[in-house]
Each structure stands twice: as C-alpha cells, then as structure tokens.
Structure 1
C-alpha cells in the first residue's frame, strides 16, 4: 500500500484518481498549507474504524456498568487492529 499525500488544489483536480486509489486499497491524505486535514480511505477501512469505535465505546460502557476492577482495559489501538484482522480475514 502506497502512502499518497496531496494538497487540496491537486486533490480537486484529481478526485477521480484519488477515489480509484481508495477503491484499490490505497488511502490519500489531503493537506491544507502542508498540514494533513482529511483522508480518502477505502470504504472497508472506514467501516472497520466505525465498527471498532462502536465496539470500544460499548465495551467501555459495559465495564463502567459492571464496575469490574479486575477486568483488564482494552485499548483502542488493540480493538482497531482486531477489527481490521477480522474484516481482512473474512474478505479472503
């Protein structure tokens, strides 16, 4: 997967190419004045991030409701990695 970065002006001129790259699995980071401000990512990745966030927030709510001091916390990075692995495994 290549790392593509593009300023807003170039992104406007090449939107179709950026979308094609996203469909192929390559994200593009859009910058404004040299600062990353947005990303065009494959839809599967976006959905996986949404799912991971939903699961993470639900898990945190469950932990707070249960008041379980013995339960080890699960970090967001770990949760996202697990979701991505599950999605990529089911796509194969």
Structure 2
C-alpha cells in the first residue's frame, strides 16, 4: 500500500493489524515500513534486545563467504 493511501486509511490498517494481518507500506513502489500486530512486533524486538553477541552471529541466515585480500599492504606515511 502506498504511503499516501495508508495515511488516508490509517484506522483500517490498525484494525487489520489487530486481526493479525501485517501491512507493508511503500513509497514509490519500494517497501519502507510494515505495520504488524503489537504482540508480533514486541516479540521480534524483545528477542533481538536480549540476544548475546554470539546468538546474533549464530542467527545469521546464510553462509558467509569472504575472500582474503592477498595483496601486500599499502605503504602509508605517518
């Protein structure tokens, strides 16, 4: 839903969120925000806040492939 339309229908969006339906808000066709039920948002953010650094690393969604730069280090003047 475009931001302008969301602004005009805000009460309807809140009702949809209460019913459990997430709503994506777009600007010029690009998603910029989402309205979700409060419990879902609270669950997502409270879990993030309570994670340890290791838990954040382990939650990474995919493989991380990093190629080492084998060039010699550049010279710098101090």
Instruction: State the TM-score, normalizing by the size of structure 1.
Output: 0.58
Q: Which runs of 5+ in 1 are unaligned?
A: 1-5, 64-72, 78-92
What does 1:34-49 align with in structure 2 at a 5 Å threshold? 34-49=29-44
**Number of matched residues?**
59
- Would the alpha carbon gap of residues 27 and 10 (structure 1) be closer, same or farther in structure 2, given more than 3 Å must change? same
Q: State the alpha-carbon separation in 1 of the partners of residues 60 and 37 from structure 2.
A: 20
Q: State the alpha-carbon separation in 2 of the partners of residues 76 and 15 from structure 1.
A: 34
Which residue number corresponds to residue 20 of structure 2? 25
Q: Which runs of 5+ in 2 are unaligned?
A: 62-78
Instruction: State the TM-score, normalizing by the size of structure 2.
Output: 0.67
Which residue number corresponds to residue 9 of structure 1? 4
Higher helix share: 1
RMSD of aligned Cα (Å): 1.6
Q: State the alpha-carbon separation in 2 of the partners of residues 25 and 55 from structure 1.
A: 24
